[in-house]
Every structure is written in C-alpha cells, then in structure tokens.
C-alpha cells in the first residue's frame, strides 16, 4: 500500500472531524455562555430586588424620621426626649444656616454621648452644608458641591484617614475607621437644618428583617430555574448557593441560602447597594463547580455522540473507499503477478524450443542444408520466431515492472560493440529477407561498465521497429561512440520516419501511430516506451532526432553513473 | 414612700401618718390600681453645712406585688436559639427540652416566636399566639445543629418577630441562647450593645444565656446590660432548663415596663457620675430607662453628686420623676419624689444618719467597677496586679460590711477573695471571666438571678 | 572438467547436458536442490550450474550451502527470474554469472567458456598452467580456450583444446581414434564413431584455412589423425 493514498484517506476523515469538532465545541461553549449569561441575568435580578428592598427601607426610614424631626420643638429637652424614644437614631442635631450646631451646642453642658457625637460629626457637615444653605429640598436634585468633598486638613480625631463625605438628597455619609456614619438632614423653613445620626446596628437589623431567611430563601433561589435549564457549567450538582450582604471591607453582615463557604472566594455576581449604603454590597456565591461527569453528560455528551457518529460515518466511508482502492490495487498487483507468472510459465517452453532448435541446427544443420535446404530454412524460421517470442515476452515483463525498481540496474564490464554486434546478428537474417542491410560502425572497443541486457533490449526494440515500420529503406545504420562519460548509439534508417509532432508521443505506452490495418498490425506499442525506460534507468535517454525523411534514434547511456554504481 | 428623717421628722411622721388616708401613701394601692413604689434618697440624708461635698443619690423603683399569677400581663417572647455545629449533641437536646418546657408555661394570650440561627437565620415559628402548643413543640423538636454562628441575624429576626405583635401592654422579650463566638455579621460587644441600646428604646429587652465556656461573655453581657435584660452563665447543658425557668419566671412576673426615671437637680448640685446602671448625665439632670420591673423586685440607679456649700437647714436638692407603663392597669403612671437634705453643723448627726442601705449599694457598685478593672488587668496578663486589686476589693468590702452591718457585702467580699485566687490559673481564666461578667451584670442590673 | 547441473525441467536439463557434453565436460545432473547438494558432495565438480526455482531447496540456498564448504567454486545461475534484484542477489551470493531464460545455446556456451577460463586460471597448484603453443598458423591458448589465426580470434571448446593438445603433444605421430576419444571424451564415454568425425569436422571449420584440405588435423585413413608441422 502506498503511503500517499492512505494519508489522503486519513486526512479525509480527520479534517472534517476536526472541523466539526471545532465548530461543535464553539457551539457548546456559546451555549454555555448563553446559559451563564441567563444565569447571571437571573441572579442580577434577584440582587436587584434585594437592593430595592433595602433602598425602600432606607428611604422610608429617612422619610419617617424627617417627618418626626420636623414635628419636634427645638429645645434640647425635646430633642433629648426624641432620641430616647427613637430607636433608629443615635443622636439628633440642629444646625443654623451657617452650619453651626445649635444642638448639641458645643458651648452648652452636654452628656457624654452628646459630646461624643459632636466630636464625631462636626467637621463633616461644615463644607457641603454651607454651600447648600440656599437650597431647601426634600427630594431635590443632588447638592452639586457636596459630592466627594474631602475634609482632609480639617479633620480631627484619631482616624487614619480624613472623613470624606458625600451629600445628596438629604443624606450625609462618611466613612471613618472603616465604619460608615450616616446622617439624615433636612433643611428648615426659615434657615438652618435639622437632622439625626442613624443607629447603624438598628438599620442593619431592620434590613435583615426585610431580607429572606433560610426558609423563605428557597423561593428566592436561582437553582431550580437553572436546573430546569439543564445547564452544567456553573451550578454544581447539589445546587447550593448563598446571597450575602457585605460591608465596605467585605465582611459579611447577613447571608441566606444553603451554602456557607469557609474560605474567601470571588462572588459569582455582585453589586453595590444604592446610596447611601453604596459602600455595602450584595453578592451571590456558589461552590466551585466540580468538573466531571455531570458536565460531560449535560453539554458535551450530545456533542461527542454527534462527532462520534460523524466520525464513524466518515471512517466507514473511508474504509469503503480504502477497500475499493485496495481491491483495485490487489487486482492490479494480481494482474501484474499474473502477467509475470504467465511470462515465467512461457519462458520454460520457450527456452526449450529455442535451445532444442539450436541444438538441432548444430547437429544436423549442415547436413540438412546440403540434403534439403528447405528443411533447413524451416528450422531457421523456427529459431527466428522463437527468438522473437523471447523478445516480446521480455518486453512485456519489463513493461509490467516499470514502476518498481526505478534506479537499479546491473552493469558489468564489457565491450559495447560486441553487444551491439551480437544484437545485430540476431536481426540480420530477418532484415535481409526484407532487403534491409544493417551497417555498423562502432568505436567502442574498450571495456566499459554497462548493462549488456539493457543495451541489447533497447537496440533490439529499435531494430524491431525498423523491421516493422521502415518500409522502403535499404539499410539501417548503427553507430557507436563514446563522448566523455556517455556512450552514444545512433540508429538511422531511410524509411518514412515519424512526423515531428509525434516525436514525443511515440514514446508513450500503447501508442501505435497508426491503427490502419495496412500500416502493419504488428507491434504492441510498448517497445519504445520500454527502450526509453531502460535507457533512463541507465542514466541516459532515448530520443528521436529531428531529421528530414529519416527516422533517427539516439541512445545515450551514462557510463559515469554506472561506473560509480559498479564501484559501489 | 417618702424617706423620713429622724429628729424633726417624727413630727412629720405623725403628720404624714395622719395624711395617709388622704394620700394613700405607704401602700401600693391607689385609685388607679397597684403602683410601683418609688424610693429615692441620699446616702447621707444629713450633710455638713458650710462645705461642699460629694454624696450619693439612689433612686429605686420596686414592682408591686402580683396578687395572682393569672393577673400577669401577656408576654411576647422571641426565643432565639443557637443551632451552630458546636451545639450538636447534648447541648441542642437540652436546649430543645428547656425551650419546650418554657413554652408549656405560656398561655393562650401569649405570643411566641422561635428563631434559630447558625450560618443563616431561620424563623422556625413565626410570631403566633399559643393556640397550638403542640406544633410549636414539634417544630422545636425538629431542630438540627450544624454550621456557623450568625448571632446578629438571629437577634434581628427575633426583634422583627416581636414587632409584629408588639404592644405596650405586653412584656416584649428576646431570649438569646448562644454557646460560641458569633462569626457571621456584627460580632463585637459594642455592635451588639448598640443594637441593645436601640431595642430598649422600643421596649424590647434581650436576655442572654451563655452556654458552656466558649461564648463571648463581653458580647452577651453588654447586649443584656444595654437592653436591660438578664444574663446568665450556664455552665452545663443540664442547667438550661433551670435558667429558662428563671427567665420565664421573671418575664411572667413583670408588672411595669418602660420605666423612665428623670432626676432634676437644684442649683448648687451637680451630678458627677452614675454607679452601676447607666444613666444619662447632664448638667443639672440625669435620665435612665429601666425596661421592666418585676413583682416585688427593686431596681435602682445610683448617682454621685457634688453639693455646694449650704447653710444649715433642709434644702430640696432635686426632684425625681418616674413614668412607666402599668401592666396591670395598662395606663401610664407617674410618680414624683423630692430629694432633700438637711444640713447641719453637727458631724455626729451626719454620721449617725447615714443611710446604710444606699451606702451599701454605693459600695457594691464601686466594688463592681473595681472588679471590672481587675478583669481588664487580667486580660492584659497582669495577673498579680489583678489579684492585688481583687484583694483590695475584698478589704474594701469587708471593711464596709462591718461599718454598714451588711451581710451581703461580706458575702461579696468573700467572692472577691475567691476570685483573686482563681484567676491565677490561665486555663481557668475563660471560666472565671464568664463568672465575673455575669456577676458584674447582676450587680449593675439588679437581676434576680 | 566436471560440471554439476541442477534444473527441475527435464527437457531443459537434457538440453544443457547435451550442450555441456558437446563442449567436453563431464556432467553430473540433479533435478532438485536436495539432490544437487548430495551430488555436489559426492562428485566434487569443478563448477556448478544452478536453476533458481527448484523444488525442495531453491538455487540460492544451494549456492549458500555450497559456499559454506567451497567458497571458491564457480557457480552460474540459470533462471527465468530476470529481475534486477535477483541478478544482484545472485551475484551477491557469490555467483559468477547469470543466464536468463530463454537463452540461446551460444549464450550458454560463451558463459561456460568464460567460467572455464577462470577455473583454469585459478586451478590447483597441482596442475600447472599450460602455455600457448603453435600449430602452424594457429596459436592455441589452452587455458583461455582460444586460438589465434593471424589477427582473428577463434573460440575453442574444452574438447577442442583437448584434441589439439593431444595432437600437438604427439606431433608427427598418429593418434588412433580410441586415443582421440580418450583424450576428448574421456574413458567413460564411448560415443559412436560419428561424433568424433563430426567434431573433427567442426573443429576444422574453425581452425583450418581450408577445412576441406586440412593442414593441422590430417586424417590418416584407417588409423586416425595426425598433426604435422
């Protein structure tokens, strides 16, 4: 089996498979991505819902507090009473339009907690509140100057960082020592502001009260939705998950769900809360999904099955083609073997015919010539024809072996001219009968390395052609000479020759220049093909030289190559 | 009842006695039903004139007696139970038993909710009337223990359940059980204390039961103190039933709640600090909130005041106003009392008129805060200094026990001596610390257990 | 000289035997490879002609086996397999030459003579090389199986050489027919009298200037033949 076709066949199977596989994987990945995005979308929806709940809570807290604050009297006792009764605030404050606190007043006698409040909050509202003194809004647009107004150099206290504050619709938020402080603020008619500091723990407890607990978390879960989508990649088989609320440092404030991770991890989806709690985040976590059988089953199994079936189909097809090819190849080989076999089979009887004819000729040839010349002639005919048969069989065998053993031939030292002469001798009788006289001028008398059988076969084919096709020629001229590392043998006759445009075609196998009955039914069309093959194997060539009306063939044999071959 | 001073007071006593039928003092009965008794006075009702000095003021409120158990106010209780992994085994079994037993004591008018917390919080039994005890008991029975400790979430959910049926005429209580360190959500003493401080404003107290040796006693104590609840150190799971019983005993005997105490001082008197219970101190006034008063049980606040030099004679130095929700009558009652001191030149009179009871309370509270200091020293590893401090505390208490003829002080002194010995052992410190915190809480809050 | 011929086709074998005997060789034959090996050991021939495709043991293996014991004995392969590789293989086994079927008689004779020359050149020291001798216009090189007449070279068979040698060695004397037979055919062969005459006739055609009037090989009627200077 030759490698080329096998390779081609393998490629035929592999390439489409690879292509399909690649596309399939792309598709599977895209599908996974779509599912991931859907999942993400779902989760983001949930988180958004939670964030909204929290926003509503903070908004309503503010609204309630402001309503209540606007009701109270502005004397310290009333304000204290308010603080004692209002669990959602730590402290209440009153500012004049310049931002100076009226209550708790720095100059007045204060309780410990009031004093602490002043320390905490005073530097904060100076800036943004001053600039907003002309505004009075409950739900107005954000105070433009108040955004991100750092109070760096004016900050007091022991924190490492200066409190930074933001002020929009009625909130003031700042972080200190990684704790957030939240104030509600409301402008008063007639100037000044009233506000309160939010008790964070209470606010968180209220938020927690609004969020689902483990029991109600089930209705919040994203898992059932996903499982019904038959996704594989991101939801592990036990479908546990967790929603969590974290503060600005990432510390969990509250969580619900069936998953309790012990190590820090990256959330699958996360988002910040709305202002004023935007330093807090909501996150959604799932355990790392275990890759494995489940994934395979869900997504890749159909893909693999598809690929496998296509692959099998292709392989079947390829196998079929291969088998056919192989069958053809075997048949061809068998045919060749058959031809070889037949030729070998023919050789034994042929050997005997030739040998015994010659022996007989030796024995009684002379006598027969004297006694019965005609009988002798019959004997000669037998001898000639058996030789011709030999040559034909040799040609056929040589032709059938064309594609093998391209470069090997056997050379031995011999005298070129002798080989040429003995070949000519074989043809002389039959030529002479047709009135053709072979004339040989040889200059290759020195021993040279060459393959005598090849030379003999080539020359034999040429002379045979002359016999068959060179009608009208009286002689055939053969010359041999050595030029550098080549032997050149010319065979020329005066026959009709071969047309110029058929110069190359004449060497093609099975090409007989004329099928016309009268142009000689003899010839298989392989003679010149073989002759050229043999010449080329010998490192030379056989060409037809353009001539006028003559047929002129030139054979070159490479002696240098053969010399090295003989030496090696 | 008004405090009667001795010498010129006899007359007043007679007068007062004469007035009794008209004023209705001396008994708890009033046209408006039983009343809380207000007891305000100085450790030194007689002071030296002509010099500025410091003295103590005690304001005590005592719940009236609950005649019949059936007279009690309905309760609104949220049981917040730790079901973290460390509770598994005997602890959770005992906890379930104790909770179930406690619920058996409640009646149809009561409202109960059960919240469990581990890694997450779960409202096991949403706030509901006790019409179907069996299902609640069954729900509690189904509890499993596993996971972390989201204590804050549990308390938040418990408070949310309470709020559903919260009314002034009900006793609102969260009973929190924990055996370990809170590790999810806010978990420091200050944070939980701030929550407690917020809860008490809406009349919710949190009683904290710490089980075993691994709970955070600072957190549990502070949460209780700030919300005016009880705190217990439950050493063994078998004791849970007892403590639940004690707690429920308190809750079911509440007669007044949201007791707001305001003390206003006259010119020349300044409040310096409060001892024991936390009090808001202003320039000339003080304010405190006591959440619940139990039948026949007194809670008090103690202030140290600075008095300017006065001329001899009786001077009204201040006034106490107490408002509270009367759970019997479901009305808000108000009590008022004057704070007067007689100034004399006679030091013997001053000495012989010392109010031992108030003085004792002062000593007790001072000793308590010393005990807290000793705890801090021991935390810092200064074992010897802590021990020394406790020994000094012992001496202080024993001295005053003799002076004031107070057996309680003696007992307290002894306990300080014991503690001094026991805090040396490092492996024992966890236990000792819990013991000390519990003791501190009991002293400052006047818990019954 | 003794030749072993191994060939499975009986007719080809027969033909080869005739050619060789006509040349003047003593022939031992075998029809298969096993027989060939047995005969080789028994007869110890001077060279061997082997067919390749033989039953029992093929020609290559026979060659190998022979080479184990006698690396120097010349071997000619006769075969119908004319593939190049086979040729090479044959020669690599140490064969001296290759004859491809179908072959002509002349081809066989030429190859055998070539081998014989080599044999004679490398023969045992026991037998000294024989120099060229002159018989009239004919120069005979016995070990080269050649004769030279002026500028023409004549190929001679072994028998030819033997006949010429005995004539030359006994110059002037008559060699009886029996003696001729003995010299040319060996004592074992008693062919009919015609073969001698035929052979002489053939030989005369080769070496005599006028075969009808021989000068080198003269007939002595009733006695035999004689060479006279």
Do A483 and A547 fall into the same domain? yes
Residues of C in contact with A358 (CB under 8 A): 104-106
- Residue B17 predicted with pLDDT over 60: no
Residue of B287, B128, B267, B119 lying closest to B200 (CA atoms): B287
- Integer Cα distance of B225 and B207 in angstroms: 9
Which of A357, A379, A407 is a domain's end point? A407
- Residue A547 predicted with pLDDT over 80: no
Report CB contact under 8 Å: A358, C104: yes
Residue A87 CB coordination number (10 Å): 21
- C85 touching chain A per CB within 8 A: yes
Buried b (16+ CB within 10 A) or exposed e, C75-99: bbbbbbbbebebbebbeebebbbbb
Question: Is A79 inside any structural domain?
Answer: no
Which of B302, B322, B354 is a domain's end point? B354
Give residue B427's domain range.
357-445
- C104 touching chain A per CB within 8 A: yes
Residues of B in contact with A256 (CB under 8 A): 120-121
- Residue A157 predicted with pLDDT over 50: no
Report CB contact under 8 Å: B119, A208: no
pLDDT at A325: 80
Number of domains in chain B: 3
Do B216 and B262 fall into the same domain? no
- Residue A352 is nearest to which of C15, C83, C87, comparing CB atoms? C15
Which of A374, A389, A407 is a domain's end point? A407
- Residue A160 predicted with pLDDT over 60: no
Which of A520-534, B420-434, C53-67, C104-118 has maximum average pLDDT?
B420-434
Which of B328, B354, B380 is a domain's end point? B354
Please give the residue that has the higher pLDDT: either A560 or B449: B449
C contact chains, 3+ CB pairs < 8 A: A
Question: Is B182 inside any structural domain?
Answer: yes
pLDDT at A161: 33
pLDDT at B58: 94
- Residue B27 predicted with pLDDT over 50: no
Question: Is B2 inside any structural domain?
Answer: no
Q: Which CATH number belongs to the domain containing residue A546 in this structure?
A: 3.30.565.10
- Residue C191 predicted with pLDDT over 80: no
- B198 touching chain A per CB within 8 A: yes
Which of A150, A168, A198 is a domain's end point? A198
- Residue B201 is nearest to which of A87, A209, A257, comparing CB atoms? A87
Interface size between A and C, measured as CB pairs under 8 A: 65
- Residue A232 predicted with pLDDT over 60: no
Do A257 and A144 fall into the same domain? no
The stretch B138-143 carries a mean pLDDT of 94
CA dihedral B162, B165, B171, B175 (to 10 degrees): -20
A contact chains, 3+ CB pairs < 8 A: B, C
The stretch C87-95 carries a mean pLDDT of 72
Residue of B41, B116, B107, B124 lying closest to B82 (CA atoms): B116
The stretch A424-443 carries a mean pLDDT of 87
Report CB contact under 8 Å: A201, B150: no
- Residue B7 predicted with pLDDT over 60: no
- Integer Cα distance of A485 and A559 in angstroms: 5
Q: What is the pLDDT of residues B39-84, one digit of tens each?
A: 999 999 999 998 899 999 999 999 999 888 778 899 999 999 999 9
Residues of A in contact with C84 (CB under 8 A): 405, 408-410
Which of B252, B270, B296 is a domain's end point? B252
SS3 A117: helix
Question: Is A69 inside any structural domain?
Answer: no
Q: Using 50, 70 and 90 to split pLDDT, how confident is the model at A88?
A: very high
Do A403 and A413 fall into the same domain? no
pLDDT at A159: 35
Report CB contact under 8 Å: B159, A200: no
- Residue A146 predicted with pLDDT over 60: no
Report CB contact under 8 Å: A409, C12: no
Please give the residue that has the higher pLDDT: either A10 or C15: C15
Report CB contact under 8 Å: C83, A401: yes
The residue of chain C nearest to residue A353, with distances taken between CA atoms, is C102
- The enclosing H or E element of A131 equals helix A112-131
Do B244 and B263 fall into the same domain? no
Which of A10-24, A121-135, B226-240 has maximum average pLDDT?
B226-240
- B153 touching chain A per CB within 8 A: yes
Question: Is A302 inside any structural domain?
Answer: no
- Integer Cα distance of B448 and B230 in angstroms: 8
Q: Which CATH number belongs to the domain containing residue B263 in this structure?
A: 2.60.40.3670
pLDDT at C145: 87
Q: Mean pLDDT across chain A, nearest whole number?
A: 77
Q: State percent of chain B over pLDDT 90.
A: 78
Number of domains in chain A: 4
Q: Using 50, 70 and 90 to split pLDDT, how confident is the model at A147?
A: very low
The stretch A150-163 carries a mean pLDDT of 33
- For A103, residues 6+ apart whose C-beta sits below 8 A from its C-beta are A74, A76, A79, A92, A93, A94
Instruction: Write out the residues of chain A at the interface with chain C, using a CB-CB cutoff of 8 A.
Output: 344, 347-348, 350-356, 358-359, 362, 386-387, 390, 393-394, 397, 401, 405, 408-410, 453
Do A559 and A479 fall into the same domain? yes
- Residue A167 predicted with pLDDT over 50: no
Question: Is B1 inside any structural domain?
Answer: no
- Integer Cα distance of A195 and A75 in angstroms: 14
Separation in Å, CA of A468 to nearest CA in chain C: 23
pLDDT at B37: 93
Question: Is B216 inside any structural domain?
Answer: yes
Please give the residue that has the higher pLDDT: either A470 or B299: B299
Do B238 and B322 fall into the same domain? no
Please give the residue that has the higher pLDDT: either B13 or B380: B380
Give residue A466's domain range.
408-567
Contact by Cβ (8 Å): B422, B436 = no
Q: Which of A342, A345, A358 to mutate to test the interface with C (most CBs of C within 10 A)?
A: A358
- pTM value is 0.61
- For C105, residues 6+ apart whose C-beta sits below 8 A from its C-beta are A354, A355, A358, A359, A362, C19
- Residue A359 is nearest to which of C9, C18, C83, comparing CB atoms? C18
- Chains C and B touching, counted as 3 or more CB pairs less than 8 Å apart: no
- Residue A129 predicted with pLDDT over 70: no
pLDDT at A134: 34
Residues of B in contact with A80 (CB under 8 A): 280, 287
- Integer Cα distance of A160 and A175 in angstroms: 11
Do A52 and A98 fall into the same domain? no
Please give the residue that has the higher pLDDT: either A178 or A424: A424
The residue of chain C nearest to residue A409, with distances taken between CA atoms, is C84
- Integer Cα distance of C40 and C6 in angstroms: 10
Do A510 and A430 fall into the same domain? yes
pLDDT at A290: 45
Do A429 and A381 fall into the same domain? no
Separation in Å, CA of A80 to nearest CA in chain B: 10
pLDDT at A291: 40
Do A412 and A393 fall into the same domain? no
Residues of B in contact with A217 (CB under 8 A): 120
Do B203 and B134 fall into the same domain? yes
Do B235 and B281 fall into the same domain? no
Do B209 and B182 fall into the same domain? yes
Give the tokens for residue C33.
Answer: 């490879």
- Residue B246 predicted with pLDDT over 90: yes
Please give the residue that has the higher pLDDT: either A205 or A170: A205
Separation in Å, CA of C14 to nearest CA in chain A: 10
pLDDT at C155: 87
Do A437 and A529 fall into the same domain? yes
Residue B354 CB coordination number (10 Å): 17
- Residue A524 predicted with pLDDT over 50: yes
- B380 touching chain A per CB within 8 A: no
Q: What is the pLDDT of residues A89-111, one digit of tens each?
A: 999 998 888 778 888 888 888 88
B contact chains, 3+ CB pairs < 8 A: A
Question: Is A68 inside any structural domain?
Answer: no
Q: What is the pLDDT of residues B254-268, one digit of tens each?
A: 999 999 999 999 999
Q: Using 50, 70 and 90 to split pLDDT, how confident is the model at C113?
A: confident
pLDDT at B375: 94
Q: What is the pLDDT of residues A45-54, one digit of tens each?
A: 889 999 999 9
pLDDT at A139: 32
Question: Is A84 inside any structural domain?
Answer: no
Report CB contact under 8 Å: C84, A351: no
Report CB contact under 8 Å: C104, A387: yes
Do A289 and A403 fall into the same domain? no
Question: Is A307 inside any structural domain?
Answer: no
Q: Using 50, 70 and 90 to split pLDDT, how confident is the model at A296?
A: very low
Q: Which CATH number belongs to the domain containing residue B112 in this structure?
A: 3.40.50.410
**Helical H runs in C81-188?**
84-92, 105-121, 158-169, 177-185
- Residue B297 predicted with pLDDT over 80: yes
Do A423 and A531 fall into the same domain? yes
Do A340 and A276 fall into the same domain? no
């Amino acid at each position: 089996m030759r490698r080329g076709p096998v390779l081609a066949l393998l490629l035929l199977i592999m390439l489409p498979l690879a292509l399909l596989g690649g596309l399939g994987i792309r598709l599977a990945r895209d599908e996974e991505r779509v599912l991931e995005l859907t999942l993400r979308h779902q989760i983001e929806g949930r988180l958004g819902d939670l964030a909204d709940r929290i926003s509503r809570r903070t908004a309503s807290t503010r609204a309630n507090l402001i309503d209540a604050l606007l009701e109270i009297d502005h004397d310290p006792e009333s304000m204290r009473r308010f603080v004692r009764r209002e669990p959602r605030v730590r402290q209440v404050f009153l500012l004049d339009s310049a931002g100076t606190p009226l209550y708790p007043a720095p100059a007045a006698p204060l309780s410990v907690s009031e004093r602490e409040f002043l320390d905490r909050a005073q530097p904060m509202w100076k800036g943004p509140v001053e600039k907003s003194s002309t505004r009075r809004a409950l739900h107005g647009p954000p105070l433009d100057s108040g955004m991100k107004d750092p109070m760096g150099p004016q900050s007091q206290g022991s924190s490492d960082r200066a409190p930074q504050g933001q002020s929009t619709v009625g909130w003031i938020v700042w972080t200190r020592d990684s704790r957030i402080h939240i104030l509600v603020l409301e402008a008063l008619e007639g100037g000044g502001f009233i506000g309160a500091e939010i008790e964070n723990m209470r606010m968180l407890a209220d938020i927690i009260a609004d969020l689902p607990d483990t029991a109600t978390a089930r209705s919040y879960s994203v898992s059932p939705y996903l499982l019904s989508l038959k996704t594989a990649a991101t939801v592990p088989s036990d479908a546990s998950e967790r929603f969590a609320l974290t503060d600005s440092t990432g510390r969990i404030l509250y969580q619900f769900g069936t998953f309790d991770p012990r190590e820090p991890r990256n959330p699958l989806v996360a988002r910040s809360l709305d202002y004023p709690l935007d330093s807090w985040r909501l996150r959604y976590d799932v355990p790392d999904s275990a890759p494995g059988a489940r994934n395979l089953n869900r997504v890749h199994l159909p893909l693999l099955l598809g690929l496998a079936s296509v692959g099998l189909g292709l392989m079947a097809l390829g196998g079929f083609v291969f088998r056919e090819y192989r069958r053809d190849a075997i048949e061809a080989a068998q045919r060749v073997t058959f031809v070889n076999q037949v030729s070998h089979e023919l050789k034994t009887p042929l050997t005997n015919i030739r040998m015994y004819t010659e022996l007989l000729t030796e024995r009684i040839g002379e006598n027969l010539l004297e006694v019965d010349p005609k009988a002798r002639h019959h004997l000669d005919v037998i001898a000639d024809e058996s030789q011709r048969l030999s040559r034909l069989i040799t040609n056929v065998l040589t032709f059938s072996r064309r594609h093998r053993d391209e470069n090997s031939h056997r050379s031995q030292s011999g005298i070129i001219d002798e080989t040429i002469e003995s070949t000519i001798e074989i043809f002389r009788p039959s030529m002479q009968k047709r009135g053709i006289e072979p004339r040989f001028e040889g200059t290759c008398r020195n021993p040279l390395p060459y393959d005598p059988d090849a030379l003999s076969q080539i020359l034999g084919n040429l002379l045979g052609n002359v016999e068959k096709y060179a009608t009208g020629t009286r002689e055939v001229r053969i010359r041999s000479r050595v030029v550098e590392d080549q032997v050149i043998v010319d065979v020329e006759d005066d026959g009709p020759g071969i047309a110029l445009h058929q110069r190359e075609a004449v060497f093609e196998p099975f090409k007989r220049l004329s099928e016309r009955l009268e142009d000689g039914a003899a010839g298989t069309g392989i003679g010149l093909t073989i002759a050229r093959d043999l010449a080329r194997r010998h490192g030379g060539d056989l060409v037809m030289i353009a001539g006028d009306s003559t047929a002129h063939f030139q054979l070159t044999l490479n002696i240098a190559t053969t010399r090295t071959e003989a030496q090696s | 009842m008004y405090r009667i001073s001795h010498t010129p007071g006899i007359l007043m006593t007679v007068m007062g006695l004469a007035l009794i039928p008209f004023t209705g003092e001396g008994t708890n009965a009033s046209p408006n039903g039983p009343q809380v008794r207000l007891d305000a006075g100085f450790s030194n009702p007689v002071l030296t004139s002509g010099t500025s000095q410091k003295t103590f003021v005690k304001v005590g409120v005592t719940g009236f007696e609950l005649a019949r158990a059936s007279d009690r106010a309905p309760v609104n209780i949220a049981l917040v139970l730790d079901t973290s992994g460390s509770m598994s085994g005997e602890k959770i079994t005992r906890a379930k038993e104790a909770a179930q037993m406690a619920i058996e004591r409640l009646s149809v008018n009561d409202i109960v909710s059960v919240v469990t917390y581990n890694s997450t919080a779960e409202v096991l039994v949403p706030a509901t009337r006790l019409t179907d005890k069996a299902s609640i008991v069954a729900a509690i029975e189904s509890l499993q223990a596993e996971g972390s400790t989201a204590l804050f979430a549990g308390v938040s959910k418990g408070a949310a359940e309470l709020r559903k049926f919260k009314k002034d005429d009900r006793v609102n209580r969260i009973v929190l059980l924990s055996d370990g360190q809170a590790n999810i959500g806010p978990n420091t003493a200050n944070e939980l204390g701030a929550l407690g401080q917020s809860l008490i404003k809406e009349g919710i107290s949190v009683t904290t039961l710490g089980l075993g040796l691994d709970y955070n006693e600072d957190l549990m104590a502070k949460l209780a103190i700030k919300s005016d609840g009880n705190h217990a150190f439950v050493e063994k799971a078998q004791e849970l039933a007892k403590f639940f019983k004690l707690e429920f005993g308190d809750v079911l005997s509440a007669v007044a709640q949201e007791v707001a105490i305001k003390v206003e001082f006259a010119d020349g008197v300044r409040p310096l600090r409060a001892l024991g219970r936390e009090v808001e101190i202003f320039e000339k006034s003080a304010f405190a909130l006591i959440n619940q008063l139990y039948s026949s049980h007194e809670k008090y606040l103690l202030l140290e005041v600075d008095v300017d030099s006065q001329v001899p004679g009786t001077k009204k130095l201040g006034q106490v106003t107490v408002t509270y929700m009367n759970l019997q009558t479901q009305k808000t009652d108000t009590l008022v009392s004057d704070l007067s001191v007689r100034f004399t030149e006679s030091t013997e009179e001053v000495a012989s008129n010392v109010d031992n009871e108030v003085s004792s309370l002062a000593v007790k509270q001072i000793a308590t805060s010393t005990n807290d200091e000793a705890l801090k020293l021991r935390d810092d590893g200064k074992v010897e200094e802590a021990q020394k401090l406790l020994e000094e505390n012992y001496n202080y208490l024993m001295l005053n026990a003799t002076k004031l003829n107070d057996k309680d002080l003696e007992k307290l002194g002894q306990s300080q001596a014991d503690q001094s010995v026991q805090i040396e052992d490092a492996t024992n410190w966890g236990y000792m610390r819990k013991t000390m915190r519990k003791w501190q809480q009991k002293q400052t809050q006047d818990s019954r257990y | 000289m003794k030749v072993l011929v191994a060939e499975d086709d009986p007719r080809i074998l027969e033909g080869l035997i005739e050619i060789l005997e006509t040349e003047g060789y003593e022939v031992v034959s075998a029809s298969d490879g096993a027989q060939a090996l047995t005969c080789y050991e028994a007869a110890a021939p001077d060279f061997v002609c082997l067919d390749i495709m033989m039953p029992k043991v093929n020609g290559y293996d026979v060659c190998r086996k022979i080479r184990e014991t006698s690396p120097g004995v010349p071997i000619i392969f006769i075969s119908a397999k004319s593939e190049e590789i086979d040729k090479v293989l044959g020669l690599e086994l140490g064969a001296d030459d290759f004859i491809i079927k179908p072959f002509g008689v002349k081809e066989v004779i030429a190859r055998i003579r070539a081998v014989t020359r080599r044999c004679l050149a490398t023969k045992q020291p026991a037998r000294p090389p024989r120099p060229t001798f002159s018989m009239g216009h004919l120069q005979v090189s016995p070990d080269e199986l050649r004769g030279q007449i002026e500028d023409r070279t004549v190929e001679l068979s072994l028998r030819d050489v033997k006949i010429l040698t005995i004539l030359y060695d006994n110059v002037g004397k008559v060699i009886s027919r029996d003696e001729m037979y003995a010299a040319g055919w060996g004592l074992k062969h008693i062919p009919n009298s015609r073969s001698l005459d035929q052979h002489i006739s053939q030989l005369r055609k080769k070496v005599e200037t006028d075969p009808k009037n021989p000068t080198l090989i003269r007939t002595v009627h009733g006695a035999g033949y004689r060479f006279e200077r």
